[in-house]
Amino acid sequence: MIVCVCNAIREDEVRAEARKGATCPLEAYKALGFEPQCGCCLNCAQDIIDEERGVASRSKSSRVVIEFPRAA
């Protein structure tokens, strides 16, 4: 399954990076040579990482939020 459409990052790639130690999507994406674009995938990617690491899912208040500048 594709987790990140912008970068074509697959779920198994995110899981592999979580097993190597990534604790958040930014770390996992960076290790894969990418960075977030639209940010739509980050909460889903975080859930996958948390699941792979055996961490209880984060509450919404601690979810990954990245704000991107608006186009002029």
Q: What tokens does 57 get? A: 């899912």
Give the count of beta carbons closer than 10 Å to the beta carbon of residue 66. 11
Please give the backbone phi and psi of residue 20, each rounded to the nearest 5 degrees, phi first: -85, -10
Nearer to ligand FES, 35 or 54 (CB): 35
Which residues contribute to the site for ligand FES (CB under 6 A)? 4-7, 36-41
Please give the backbone phi and psi of residue 10, each rounded to the nearest 5 degrees, phi first: -90, 155
Min dist CB 72 to ligand FES, Å, is 21
Nearer to ligand FES, 28 or 41 (CB): 41
Min dist CB 34 to ligand FES, Å, is 8
